[in-house]
Structure 1
Amino acid sequence: MDALKAAQHYINRIVTDTSGMKVLLLDRETTPIISLVSTQSHLLSKEVYLVDRIDNVQRDSMRHLKCLCFLRPTDSSIQALVDELRSPKYGDYYIYFSNILKKSMIELLAENDESEVVQELQEFYADFYAPTPCLFHIGLTPSTHPLFAEGHSWNPGALNRTVQGLSALLLSLKKRPNIRYERNSGMALKLGRELEYLVNHESNLFGTNSDDKTHLYILDRKNDPVTPLLTHWTYHAMLHELIGVNNGRIDLSYLPDIRPEVKEVMLSQDQDSFFKQSQFLNFGDLGVSVKEFVDSYQSKTASQHKIESISDMKRFVEAYPEFRKLSGNVTKHVTLIGELSRIVGSHHLLAVSELEQSLACNEQHNTDLKALRTLIADPSIQPENKVRCVVLYALRYERAQSNALHELKQQLSSSGVDADLVSTVDVVLRYSGLRERQSDIFQNENIFSRGRNMFKGLQGTENVYTQHTPALAVMLEQLLRGRQGLHWQERLPNLDPQARPPTIGNESGIFNQDIIVFVVGGVTLDEEKAVANLNARFGSQNVRIIAFTISRI
């Protein structure tokens, strides 16, 4: 179960099913979908000599070329295609949509194909973005597609796009799963019902019977608000949070004296072996890894300088493309890690992270409060980091008799933190405070969980900056090991009451299961790492897990 390979399969079908010289037309949303799973050189090798946007009206007419169109079935893309068919610029058109087409859309296209240039019309379900093998998203951003409407309810546009993305994922994997949702989440239930309605309505595509070995778990971020509040120290997570990754692209043009070739760089597991091997390394191990990478490059550079014969020249010429690629990767990663190191130092993130981990993992109110007051008073700490630590304090000590949240918010305001930023403390409490959650994420709600938390603290930890384990990782491991089966059946009811519950009561664990996890509110890259680790550990049991989220990565 690999949606990255499924998306690559669809793209390969698009560019290889039609022979001859071709042009590929994309829209605003399918352009990044393609860029994440294919390269310009790969497209060129399949005789795709031009890639353009269908809404570019300045394109030249080239009737000797065949035209491949890969589009999302949106009103804007349909209208752009209608305009194209009314005045075709190419000889033949082969049209592929990334999701289910409405009958009215097909009729509209047929009515406007007066020149009869359309040779093929198909649905290829690659309507999601696949940055890594175990994490996928649908590209929504809060500025354009807010998640919430009034209260804790779906924004209709975000809900519709989420259903479309999930349905495309299921169709690409050829799965009709049992749908389970977190009991205390109205948004998870709403999404599950909308998806179930679509699956039943399109039973000719999905089949009529659910697959007992495939499960879709729809979770709600409010049940674990802690994980996204923490500073994460893996390479991929740091790049995303500290510099910014947009559909695999990183913009470094803001750096002074940046070399032109690294003003914008790409992250791709397929094209970048160092990133594939290092994306889950923590910051300390990353320094060792990049040094070994540079040493390897230097040794290969030295060997290339030893050209003493015709055979040496031939070897150099044959290795030159790979040598240039290696040189570019070395420059890219040394630049990225250097910038990360600068940000970590200038923002004092080690000190911030140590307090975050203490608030997330340990029950020591007086110590935490003293450290938090010191942090807020420090003018070198970023306002966002101060507020994150106060939010963690508010969540952990929400019921503590000595709770000093009001005082901390006043200290934030007096230290110059913007009032809107300070107000997020109360917003998070309303969204995912104790009354909203159904899980004891801090293990401090009763005497038994406090005891478990104390014993966990006595065991120590390898790294004070990575003590916290995401609740998603705990849940999945318990499911995979067959532990607390009744608890999870109660917490994650099935939409279909007649469906057979998953095999989670057997202490030997579960086998031959495909698990898709969707989190309303998004997943973190620390949770991506947890999913990747679980896939590696339980692969021998033929268990495969992928996580699906909303926000672009």
Structure 2
Amino acid sequence: VVYTQSEILQREVYLFERLDSPSREPMKHLKAICFLRPTKENVELLVQELRRPKYSVYFIYFSNVISKSDVKALAEADEQEVVAEVQEFYGDYIAVNPHVFSLNLLGCCRGRSWEPAQLARTTQGLTALLLSLKKCPMIRYQLSSEPAKRLAECVKQVITKEYELFDFRRTEVPPLLLILDRSDDAITPLLNQWTYQAMVHELLGINNNRIDLSRVPGISKDLREVVLSAENDEFYANNMYLNFAEIGTNIKNLMEDFQRRKPKEQQKLESIADMKAFVENYPQFKKMSGTVSKHVTVVGELSRLVAERNLLEVSEVEQELACQSDHSSALQSVRRLLQSPRVSELDAARLVMLYALRYERHSSSGLPALLEELRARGGTDRYRKLVSAVLEYGGKRVRGSDLFSPKDAVAITKQFLKGLKGIENVYTQHQPLLQETLDQLIKGKLKDSQYPYLGPNTLRDRPQDIIVFLIGGATYEEALAVFNLNRSNPGVRIVLGGTTIHNTRR
């Protein structure tokens, strides 16, 4: 995610061990670099390690603030004086994209309240991010969310307690931390996606930049798990936000370029110079070969799943539910797909969830009938229960914003003109609520009554440095929205974070 194992190997680090591994052998000729979270368990493991050191010297780095009492416990355990260095290195979060981070936490709340352990972990992750970016922000939060207010207060407490650490050089316009709740927009994580990174996560799942392809029919052994990282993969970096149609064209161009560069089988290696040239070019050729086979496999599997699960048709109805307000047409479309054997149980449930969120209070709601049809498909009761759960979580009663606000005439005209640019826009009409919220924030129009400041101070100028955090998880569709906002607002820098990065299964 930040540094690959092969990059670490280039720095002459040859052995990777877990601190809790019972089978480690003493190796007094080696120096040890320890990188760990400053948890009670980790500090205790380190105390045990220092009492019987297996290596000659220890350089200890904690991913967050460590208490003075823990440092004292380590010092007392270090009787052989093997510790050369102890530092705080604020990296208590997962860097996903250059502007996106995650805490890899699932199920952070129970009902409308935080799980205490998850609140503590989220506070730690968020304050570590602020310290690593050297930001001491003003804080705004979503008023309709008790978890958002609670997290804002916890972050503020840490900033106050560790004021010396947060004593950064003041900027003309202070940075802003905006804390939001996923429950305000339960629609976005339920939609099928059509840009590369978002689509891979929705259909295959991205876990710390790794994709499990072991279930792909006929997959070769070396492609059972692949890494997609914009840092180390130029094709991925250039294509992660493009739509699926463009990816197909670019894969074709990549393959053609690869074929042109491929060493000719009849190439003669007659001289030392020929051999030297081949050896010099081979690593680049081998790397390109790996990139081609990886992306051809991933795109091929995405195409197979789109066809197998009838996702073009499913996604069109999802977009109709998310962006339009013709109830009769939407109900008819959902019913038609529920009766199709090509639509998976997950996609059928997803459509009913979207319908429930969109039309939960409609006078002619067809939800009971749709739930019955979901049951008649012969699936488990699990998905029917999830429909109720999603309404409980993100229904109209709990939302602080108008998720389905009527579009004004200008917005409708813009959308119509945008729609003329290509048929693929049928599948990407939806814009997450976050995009509108951040747009209002950048323009200085975000209402204090809905998103109050924590404390007496307010920003007089438009914010330039924004960190937005979603309790309950962010999505790659929102990551794309933030990427575009950063690109279209040169004086503004937005970083997006969440307790996790969602797809429908999460």
Q: Provide the rounded CA distance (Å) in 1 between the counterparts of 2:208 and 2:494.
A: 21
Task: Give how far 1:452 is off.
Answer: 6.7
Residues 335 and 410 of structure 1: is their aligned pair in 2 closer, same or farther, counting only changes over 3 Å? same
Give the one of 388, 391, 411 matched to 1:426: 388
Q: CA deviation at 1:371?
A: 1.0
CA contact 2:349–2:384 (8 Å) conserved in 1? yes
Given candidates 441, 448, 468, the residue that maps to 1:489 is 448
Q: C-alpha separation between the residues in 1 aligned to 2:414 and 2:331?
A: 22
Change (3 A) 1:487 1:86: closer
* 1:196 aligned onto 2:184: no
Query: Partner of 1:32 in structure 2?
Result: none
Query: In the alignment, does 2:73 pair up with 1:114?
Result: no
Of 458, 467, 490, the match for 1:516: 467
Matched, 1:528 2:479: yes
CA contact (8 A) 2:195 2:243 kept: yes
TM-score (norm 2): 0.93
1:99: Cα distance to partner? 0.6
Specify the alignment match of 1:503 in structure 2: 461
2:248 corresponds to 1:287: yes
Aligned residue in 1 for 2:300:
338
In the alignment, which of 213, 217, 222 is matched to residue 174 of structure 2? 213
* 8 Å CA contact retained: 1:179, 1:215: yes
**Distance in 2 between the 1:301 and 1:346 partners?**
34
Does the Cα contact within 8 Å between 2:134 and 2:168 map onto a contact in 1?
A: no
Q: Deviations over 1:193-237 (max 9, x none)?
A: 000001100101112897643111101112112111111111111
Aligned position for 2:497 = 548
Could you tell which deviates more after superposition, 515-524 or 386-395?
A: 386-395
User: RMSD of the TM alignment (CA)?
Assistant: 2.0
Residues 437, 446 of structure 2: 8 Å contact kept: no
Q: 1:372 to 1:327 in 2, by over 3 A?
A: same
Among residues 105, 113, 119, which one is paired with 1:159 in the alignment?
119
In structure 2, the residue corresponding to 1:48 is in which secondary structure? coil
CA offsets, 1:372-428, max 9 Å, x none?
111112222111211111121122222221111111111211222322211222222
Q: 1:392 and 2:392 equivalent?
A: no
2:282 aligned to which of 320, 323, 335: 320
Measure, in 2, the Cα distance between the counterparts of 1:41 and 1:387: 42
- Paired with 1:309 and 1:198, the residues of 2 have a C-alpha distance of 69
Given that 1:236 and 1:280 are in contact with CA atoms closer than 8 Å, whether structure 2 keeps it comes out as: yes
Question: What letter matches 1:126 in structure 2?
Answer: G
Q: Following superposition of structure 1 onto structure 2, how do residues 43-58 of structure 1 map, counting pairs within 5 Å? A: 43-58=8-23
Partner of 2:335: 373
1:250 equivalenced with 2:208 (yes/no): no
Residues in 1 aligned to 2:383 and 2:170: alpha-carbon distance in whole angstroms:
45
2:257 aligned residue? 296
**Residues in 1 aligned to 2:196 and 2:445: alpha-carbon distance in whole angstroms:** 37
Contact 1:148–1:155, Cα closer than 8 Å, also in 2: yes
Are 1:176 and 1:209, in contact at CA under 8 Å, matched by a contact in 2?
A: no
CA deviation map 1:120-171 (0-9, x unaligned): 111111111112101101122x3xxx2122x301111111110000000000
Q: Is the 8 A contact 1:178 1:210 kept in 2?
A: no
Deviation of 1:57 after TM superposition, in Å, equals 2.1
Check conservation: 2:51, 2:78, Cα contact below 8 A. yes
In 1, Cα distance between equivalents of 2:150 and 2:170: 19
Task: Report the counterpart of residue 24 of structure 1 in structure 2.
Answer: none
Give the CA deviation at 1:76.
2.2
| Distance across 1 between alignment mates of 2:388 and 2:217 | 39
Deviates more, 1:455-464 or 1:250-259: 455-464
In the alignment, the residues of structure 1 paired with residue 175 and residue 79 of structure 2 have an alpha-carbon distance, to the nearest angstrom, of 45
Report what 1:361 is aligned to. 323
Following superposition, the deviation at residue 53 of structure 1 comes to 1.2
Count of aligned residue pairs for this structure pair: 496
Note the residue ranges of structure 1 that are not aligned, 5 or more in a row. Answer: 1-35, 505-509
Q: 1:108 to 1:301 in 2, by over 3 A?
A: same
Aligned in 2, Cα 1:288/1:486: closer, same or farther, shift over 3 Å? closer
Verify the 8 A CA contact 1:200 1:208 in the aligned structure 2: no
Q: Specify the code of the residue in structure 2 equivalent to 1:175.
A: K
Distance 2:403 2:178 in 1: 19
Kept in 2, the 8 Å contact 1:362–1:457? The answer is no
Is 1:175 aligned to residue 156 of structure 2?
no
- In structure 2, C-alpha distance between the alignment counterparts of 1:38 and 1:344, rounded to whole Å: 33
Look up the SS of the partner of 2:96 in the other structure: strand
Decide whether the 8 Å contact of 2:38 with 2:65 is kept in 1.
Answer: yes
| Aligned with 2:401 (options 439, 443, 453) | 439
**5+ residue gaps in structure 2?**
none
Q: Separation in 2 of the partners of 1:452 and 1:186?
A: 35
333-342 vs 43-52, which deviates more? Answer: 43-52
**CA offsets 1:246-303 (integer angstroms, 9 cap, x no match):** 1011122233432222121111111111110111111111100111111111111056
CA contact (8 A) 1:372 1:389 kept: yes
Residue of structure 2 in register with 1:123 after alignment: 88
| 1:74-93 equivalences in 2 (<5 Å) | 74-93=39-58
CA contact under 8 A between 2:184 and 2:398: conserved in structure 1? yes
Identity percentage of aligned residues: 45
Greater Cα shift, 349-358 or 51-60: 51-60
SS at match of 1:70: strand
Alpha-carbon contact 1:177-1:210 (below 8 Å) kept: no
Counterpart-to-counterpart distance in 1, 2:216 and 2:174: 49
CA distance in 1, matches of 2:362, 2:411: 17
| Cα distance in 1, alignment partners of residues 333 and 323 from structure 2 | 15
State the SS of the aligned residue for 2:427: coil
Say if 1:85 and 1:552 are closer, same or farther in 2 by CA, change over 3 A. farther
Q: Which structure's relative contact order is higher, taking Cα pairs within 8 Å and 6+ residues apart?
A: 2
Q: TM-score, normalised by structure 1?
A: 0.86
Q: Contact 1:278 / 1:286 at 8 angstroms: preserved in 2?
A: yes
State the Cα deviation string for residues 431-488 of structure 1 (Å, max 9, x = none): 22222212222124xxxx57677656655624211111111112222333x2xx4443
- Is the CA contact (8 Å cut-off) linking 1:362 and 1:453 kept in structure 2? no
